[in-house]
Amino acid sequence: MNMSNNKKITRLLIANRGEIAVRIMQSAQKIGIHCIALYSDADQNAMHVKQADEAWYIGASPAKDSYLVVETVLQVAKDAQADAIHPGYGFLSENAGFAQAIQDAGIIWVGPPVSAIEAMGSKSESKALMEKAKVPLVPGYHGDNQDEMFLAEQVKKIGFPVLIKASAGGGGKGMRVVESEDEIMAAIKASKREGLNSFGDDKLLAEKYITRPRHIEIQVFMDQNGNGVYLFERDCSIQRRHQKVVEEAPAPQFSEQERQAMGEAALQAAKAINYEGAGTVEFLYDNGTFYFMEMNTRLQVEHPVTEMITGQDLVVWQIKVAQGESLPLTQDQLHIHGHAMEVRIYAEDPDNDFLPTTGTLDHLQLPKLIQGRVRLDTGVQQGDEVSPYYDPMISKLIVWGEDRAQCLSTLKQALQTYQIAGVTTNLSFLRRVVNVDAFAQGDVSTQFIEEFDQQLLKQSAIPLHHLVAAVCQHMFNLESIGKKRRASDDYTNPWHGLSSLRLNQASKHTLRFNTKSDETLDVDVTLCNGHNNQTQASPLIELQIAFNGDHHTVKTRKHDNQVQYEINGQWRSARVIEHNNILWIYDNHGESQLSYVQSDFNQHTEQAGSLTAPMNGTIIQIDSSPGQVVKAGDVLMIMEAMKMEHAIKAPMDGTIKEICFNIGDLVNESAMLIEMDEA
């Protein structure tokens, strides 16, 4: 693992950013280690920079110009007199050249041997090694012949469905499921391109695609003396596009015999490559049979659930092993205590094909954190920007319970109180996932999201009580915003037409909102008696609200930054956040999002034939040219944002008029990308 056994680490450089950098610092600083952070232009005010003992600037915002530049990171390590480097996960964590350069410089590498990274860095080579070590494999082709026609023949031989994936890949990049012969070539080309773009390697392998497996992985640890343990399993079956959504430990409906057999197979795999440090061996599990999938030669995103059930700090273990110490515990000293679950909160829009989102975290209300029971690993705080340059993960919410049922109950409660406004997130989607009955029963597979898509991906109607909360917030903001409106000539302001509406006198007005699914809601509001029975601190307002033919009498007041309102004899509370004419409504029943409908001339009316960017991102491929005749559905351009590719397709038959950007250009959400004339 390093060149200097039994040397104490005193100055640790963390070659990463965000949540994982903060996580490593917490453990390292706890045991008295001085932590050195890195930052790019986009990260000057990031949490990991503020929490470090010192931080060094390494370049422009794109990772390829900063965090991925080996020479720069190494120079900072020397200049900062770091005696060790921890790579976190992602970025350079599984880059054998980086690990070798660090050790050549006489710096301790908090990671596995270079030979182990190389052995497991290629999916095809790792399969060959595992075959020799008698670790069970999924049937498939893992050879060197990369001719596209040859690969296509191998896919046909395996039998559909087949999974094609980049040999050097990870995180779902360069992976395609092929269901029929006519899909083969397109999948091969796309996987090769993604492999080259993401990992600099377009080598592919093909395997039989098991249609409803579980994804179960084993946390292994080995020291420099050849001692090894497994810290039990994690079930990471609930995934979207091969990205994990929910992780838990131990795996539900998993016997002690299966745990031991898989754990021993994982240790066998680690010993076969003379492993050191933390590693994860991933398996596909199918009705009692398991197959080796890959080994991640680093700390995993989901390591906290293992920490919660074992009571161990895996980062401290990594540091101890890197210093040449023996493993802190033996296998018979390790025990499972309780149950843990983790969900990943992403800046993405589940109701818009999970496209990454960007913006400012205007409002954060965190769940109540309880030592050993509710934990939040994050690299952002209120007011921070979510940029298009890096992975869109905002945080990881991890909970523990004495058993799985209690753990799930704690997770549901924590998710209900976790609120984010200013950036669209997957929080509402996660709430839907954990409320599916099959999840409560532990009936999970990698097809879970597809199987329950009707429950998970559909935006439900805005509940009446959320609509009422939005109207009440509107009323409390009315006078102050009205003053701003009267001082300006902005006729597109949604408050501009409210000259007749005043507190203290009867007034009527129609408010118009749009839902995320583009439904328009008209609400008639009558102010009955503003400031009645009130104190100056908490005015009580009475309203008549008419919606969809029903009339409701509502009393409302503000308390502790929340809107309180009485409807149908029941008082409720909600927090309503406004940002760029969008209202985010939160209460203990969930969240809703509404936007104000502005003046007609300011409506979003996309010109027929124009195509706009669905997110902030970079143009990585252009498949069309001016004058070209295209059919509806043809791919015209490919964008990449936060490690995800998105195809821009022709909305109709027509002719391309203009391509507005070039390959490599960074574009903003809603920017016009292509203009075309309809046929």
Lowest-pLDDT range of 56-60, 321-325, 552-556, 646-650? 646-650
- Please provide the average confidence, as pLDDT, over all residues in the chain: 88
Q: Residue 494: its pLDDT value, please?
A: 46
Which of 298, 373, 485, 557 is an active site residue?
Answer: 298
Q: Per-residue pLDDT tens for 604-621?
A: 333 344 588 877 788 999
- 601 — pLDDT class (breaks 50, 70, 90): very low
Most confident of 22-26, 145-149, 203-207: 22-26
One CATH from 3.40.190, 3.40.630, 3.30.700, 3.30.1490 for 464-601: 3.30.700
Per the CB < 8 A criterion, the answer to whether 564 and 449 are in contact is no
* pLDDT tens-place string over residues 170-217: 667 788 999 999 999 999 999 999 888 877 889 999 998 888 899 999
pLDDT in tens, 378-424: 999 999 999 889 989 999 999 999 999 999 999 999 998 898 988 98
Which residues make Cβ contacts (< 8 Å) with residue 582, sequence separation at least 6? 593, 594, 595
Cα separation values, 390 from 16, 386, 411, 510, Å: 11, 9, 27, 42
Distance from CA of residue 243 to its chain's centroid?
8
CB 517 within 8 A of CB 459: yes
Would you tell me which CATH number, out of the four given (3.40.50.20, 3.40.50.1100, 3.20.20.370, 3.40.50.720), belongs to the domain 11-110?
3.40.50.20
The H or E element spanning position 654 is strand 654-659
Closest CA to 20 of 33, 37, 1: 37
pLDDT at 208 (0 to 100) = 87
Q: How far is CA 210 from CA 52, 167, 559, in A?
A: 45, 18, 54
Model confidence over 408-420: pLDDT tens digits?
999 999 998 898 9
Q: Are 269 and 133 in contact (CB under 8 A)?
A: yes
Instruction: Tokens for 260, please give them.
Output: 């031991």
Which of 139, 77, 63, 65 minimizes the C-alpha distance to 106?
77
pLDDT of residue 500: 43
- pLDDT above 90 covers a percentage of the chain that reads 61
Pairwise CA distance, residues 541 & 457, whole Å = 37
Q: Do 181 and 156 meet the contact criterion of CB atoms below 8 Å apart?
A: yes
Distance CA 261, CA 263 (A): 6
For residues 76-87, average pLDDT: 98
Are residues 101 and 70 in contact, defined by beta-carbon separation less than 8 angstroms? yes
CB burial of residue 77 (10 Å; 0-12, 13-18, 19+): buried
SS3 annotation, 607-648: CCCEEECCCCEEEEEECCCCCCEECCCCEEEEEEECCEEEEE
Give 263-309 pLDDT, tens digit per residue.
999 999 999 999 999 999 999 998 889 999 899 999 999 999 999 99
Query: What per-residue confidence (pLDDT) applies to 2?
Result: 46
Please give the average per-residue pLDDT across 523-527, as a whole number: 90
- Given the candidates 3.20.20.70, 3.10.50.40, 3.30.1490.20, 3.40.50.620, the CATH classification of the domain at 139-208 is 3.30.1490.20
Give the per-residue pLDDT at 3: 44
| Backbone phi, psi, residue 143, to 5° | -85, -175
Q: Would you state the pLDDT for residue 59?
A: 97
The mean pLDDT of 156-174, rounded to a whole number, is: 84
**Residue 370 DSSP code:** B
298 in active site: yes
* pLDDT score of 284: 94
The whole-number average pLDDT for the span 241-248 is 90
| Phi and psi at residue 278, to the nearest 5° | -90, 135
Q: How confident is the model at residue 582 (pLDDT cuts 50, 70, 90)?
A: confident
Average pLDDT for 320-330: 97
Structural class in CATH, domain 214-456: alpha beta
pLDDT band for 486, please (50, 70, 90 cuts).
very low
* 603, pLDDT greater than 50: no
3-class state of residue 268 by DSSP: helix
The pLDDT assigned to 519 comes to 86
Instruction: Measure the CA–CA gap between 237 and 247, rounded to whole angstroms.
Output: 7
Give the mean model confidence (pLDDT) for residues 512-526: 88
394: which DSSP letter?
Answer: E
Cis peptide before 350 (omega within 30 of 0): no
Side-chain-side CA neighbours of residue 649 (13 Å): 9
Sole residue written with tokens 């009446």: 464
**The two domains 11-110 and 606-678 share their CATH topology (first three levels equal):** no
Here the tokens at position 259 are 């745990």
**Closest Cα partner for 634 from 646, 619, 652?**
652
Q: What is the pLDDT of residues 85-109, one digit of tens each?
A: 999 998 999 999 999 999 999 999 9
SS3 at position 91: coil
Exposure class string for 22-47: b at 16+ Cβ within 10 A, else e: bbbbebbeeeebbbbbbbbebbeebb
Q: What predicted TM-score, i.e. pTM, was given to this entire model?
A: 0.77
Confidence of residue 459 (pLDDT cuts 50, 70, 90): low
**Domain covering 606-678: architecture:** Beta Barrel (2.40)
Residue 501 has pLDDT above 60, yes or no: no
Kindly list the domain boundaries of the chain, sorted by start residue.
11-110, 139-208, 214-456, 464-601, 606-678
